[in-house]
Amino acid sequence: MSGPGLTLRDYQVEAVEAALGADAQRSAIVMPTGGGKTAVIAGVVRRHFEQARGRSLVVAHRIELIEQNARTVRRFAPGLRVGIVKAERDQTGHDVISASVQTLVSAARRGRIKDVGLVVVDECHHAAADSYMRVLGHFGCFTDGGARALGLTATLERGDDKALGDVWQDVVYSKSIAWMIEHGWLVRPRGLRVRVPDLDLRKVRKSRGDFSDSSLGEAIEGSLAPELVAKAYAEHAPGKQGILFAPTVHTAELYRDALCELGITAELVHGAMAEGDRRRTLRRFEDGAIQVLCNCMVLTEGTDLPMAEVCVIGRPTLNRGLLIQMAGRVLRLHPGKDSALIIDVSGATERHSLLGAIELFGEESVHVPVEGEAPESEQPDDLDSADLDLGRTVLDEDLDGGPTWLTGPTEVVEVDLFHGSKSMWQRTQGGIWFINATSGKDSSRYIIVQRAVRPGAWDVIEMDAKVRGRSSWVATDVDDLSFAMAFAEANVTDGERMTARKNARWRKDRPSDAQAELAVRMGIRGSVAEVMMMMTKGEVAAALDHRFASRRIDPYVPAHARRVA
């Protein structure tokens, strides 16, 4: 070895150890964009070579990723010979090979690469595609005694129905966006949603689990979205560099033109550009000569532009993983950068969560009750609290029909980028955020998020729902409401999730007699018959919860916490 190379961060070292010590033949690591997945790749292949386990093949699907992986391995492991296999380049005899999956589709090109003990798949949420499956199969990753496989991604989920659990057997290491920001490895995001009055996504065709690019482009191009995006950018991000995502090249051009008309320097980047032209454009952005890069979905992966502080989601998506990929482009650390702005022009942040849940299968995960937990359909009727956001408008919208605000008035509003979690939040009469975390008659508590003494910060507290004095700190002085909520949700136990989950099936059932009578006593409705006719079990429980929580929480929090956020 010619030298030690760059040093990994502590959590990257943990990820390397987890990968090398994995029992599964095909394991995965999930780490947010900007968390240093490429550095982890470098650490793994270096240790793999030092332990005489054989050579490593690092596979990716884009030129930028292939080149980036090769550069990073050289920086962290300068003693290794790193080669590239793509198109006319065929450096098959090196210690580590960074290769294009498109090139390796050729059996002849694969056959020239020998003695591979580890196959690393970058952006491994693509691994269920036939091209990757051929590569993994060729090197024996599905056969006892064959090469091991390691996948890395920020979002281990796909937009279609292909099951990633068929490829990756185990997630051996993961870190969330919230953890990365709380520990100072990513910047804190803020969210703005721009409502467009004449953009109706209900009429947009769908393809492979997401909006069709062409149909989506037509809808955007026929609306006021480009002009409204430009105005929002000029008002909320003056002088800030940003990346705008559009569904088609023509749509990206319209966004660019609208920005330029307001004096914002914007240029286009798309997949059909010559490689040299694209590199020159990216270099001008890095040098500060361009303020906004309008791209047709080529900057979602493999692009390191940490100076970007603004992400414009001008491409609505039903794919949570894609949203996280887009937003993650602007969360990287950079000198002088302390936050990022996500501008959502058509509702992506209403549909998804930047928490980035891991889903190994091509369907919604199934809730598995813990021992002693009643099925959702048998939720106890005599709970004196449950939760429902009485002021909600779009959190539980029907995706087929589309959220109601899509055809509403033009407006720019603050949004909570983390509200897409499965827990349902409410606010007391005094404005305190809380989750009802009841798990039975003998265990009832609220997890609340209140303002901290320091302006702009938040505290997280667990409070017994009935007994005064039984409370404790979960987290203190958290810099952002979204991340305070993330800490609160992490404190919800498996047994409490039945009550805390906003989409629990029991919420849709008819109220019980006991619920209806209590609702009448509490003044929620005038009669039992009215409750039965007009409310679901979840709505009744939620209204009751709001009353009880307000009585329990509001009188006992500091004055500074009672201000409505």
Domains of the chain, start order: 10-175 (3.40.50.300), 182-351 (3.40.50.300), 376-389+424-561 (no CATH)
Closest among 391, 561, 412 to 481, alpha carbons compared:
561
CA quadruple 256, 350, 179, 190: dihedral, nearest 10: 50
Please compute the mean of the pLDDT values over residues 154-167 and round it to a whole number: 61
Supply the pLDDT for residue 223.
92
Q: Which residue has the higher pLDDT, 125 or 111?
A: 111
CB atoms closer than 10 angstroms to residue 94: 17
Report whether pLDDT(364) > 50: no
User: What does pTM read for this prediction?
Assistant: 0.62
Q: Tell me which residue has tokens 């006992």.
A: 556
Supply the pLDDT for residue 449.
84
Report whether pLDDT(21) > 70: yes
Cα 53 to Cα 22, 38, 147, 354, distances in angstroms: 14, 20, 10, 37
Distance between CA atoms of 187 and 189, rounded to whole angstroms? 6
Distance between CA atoms of 339 and 330, rounded to whole angstroms? 9
Report whether pLDDT(193) > 90: no
Phi, psi of 360 (to 5 degrees): -85, -15
Q: How far apart are the first and last CA of the chain?
A: 56
Please compute the mean of the pLDDT values over residues 137-147 and round it to a whole number: 94
CB atoms closer than 10 angstroms to residue 372: 8
Percent of the chain with pLDDT over 90: 34
pLDDT digits (tens, 9 = 90+) for 452-479: 877 667 788 888 888 777 778 887 776 5
Averaged pLDDT score across all residues of the chain: 79
Amino acid at 144: D
Cα 544 to Cα 547, 549, 550, distances in angstroms: 5, 8, 10
Please compute the mean of the pLDDT values over residues 107-136 and round it to a whole number: 90
The one-character DSSP state at 164 is G
Radius of gyration, alpha carbons of the chain: 25
With H, G, I as helix, E, B as strand and everything else as coil, classify residue 245.
strand
Supply the pLDDT for residue 441.
61
Percent of the chain with pLDDT over 70: 79
DSSP string, 494-561: GGGHHHHBTT-GGGGSPPPHHHHHHHHHTTSSS-HHHHHHH--HHHHHHHHHHHHHHHHHGGGS-GGG
Close Cβ partners of 336 (under 8 Å, ≥ 6 residues apart): none
Supply the pLDDT for residue 541.
84
pLDDT digits (tens, 9 = 90+) for 22-40: 999 999 998 888 888 888 9
pLDDT digits (tens, 9 = 90+) for 295-327: 987 776 656 788 999 999 998 887 777 787 788
CB atoms closer than 10 angstroms to residue 500: 24
pLDDT digits (tens, 9 = 90+) for 250-266: 999 999 999 999 999 99
Distance between CA atoms of 273 and 154, rounded to whole angstroms? 26
With H, G, I as helix, E, B as strand and everything else as coil, classify residue 104.
helix
Q: Tell me which residue has tokens 């901290």.
A: 452
Distance between CA atoms of 386 and 186, rounded to whole angstroms? 35
Q: Tell me which residue has tokens 């993983």.
A: 321
Q: Which residues pair with 59 in a beta bridge?
A: 99, 121
pLDDT digits (tens, 9 = 90+) for 269-288: 988 888 888 889 988 998 89
Q: Which helix H or strand E contains 149, and what residues bound it?
A: strand 148-153
CB contact at 8 A, 307 and 286: yes
Distance between CA atoms of 169 and 23, rounded to whole angstroms? 10
Burial class (CB in 10 A: 0-12, 13-18, 19+), 184: exposed
Report whether pLDDT(91) > 70: yes
